[in-house]
Amino acid sequence: MKKSEVPQDDSALNNVSREMCYAQNESGEYETALSKGWNVKKEALDLAWEDVNVRIESAKKEVLENRKSPIYYYMESKLMDFVILSGYTGIWKWKIKRHLKPSVFNSLPNKVLSKYAKAFEITIDELKQVI
């Protein structure tokens, strides 16, 4: 594609970042060009975010129905998995999975809860409830 044809469509990341791509200049040589976005990519990102929001709402429902602990909701809302959360907290993955049980979560000491709260950038009180 020619440098003048590099897409400049508004995207979800429009004010956050720009993407570098290669395009041909007037003499036919390839060089870098910046793009604000591309409609096709925007639609794909929008669909991905819709999926994320569905997962967050599903996690919230499971917590409110007392099937999972609030850790599950905050993991989904912060886009974390067990490996990432384990890295932030220093808690083994199998323990985190165990802490997703409401009965286990309710008996956790504040020392453990503070590790989760710090990882999710919230307070312990916020961790204990999902609004």
**pTM > 0.85:** no
Q: What pLDDT is stored for residue 97 in this prediction? A: 98
- Which residue intervals of the chain bear CATH 1.10.260? 57-127
For residue 25, give the amino acid letter: N
Distance of alpha carbon 105 from alpha carbon 92, whole angstroms: 15
* Alpha helices (runs of H) in the chain, residue ranges in sequence order: 39-64, 70-77, 82-89, 93-99, 102-105, 110-120, 124-127
Q: What pLDDT is stored for residue 69 in this prediction? A: 97
Q: What pLDDT is stored for residue 108 in this prediction? A: 97
**pLDDT of the chain, 131 residues: tens digit per residue:** 777 777 677 766 667 777 778 888 888 889 888 877 777 777 888 889 899 999 999 999 999 999 999 999 999 999 999 999 999 999 999 999 999 999 999 999 999 999 999 999 999 999 998 77
Distance of alpha carbon 10 from alpha carbon 16, whole angstroms: 11
CB burial string 18-27: b at 16+ within 10 A, e below:
eeeeebeeee
CATH, domain range 57-127: 1.10.260
- Whether 47 contacts 81, CB under 8 Å: no
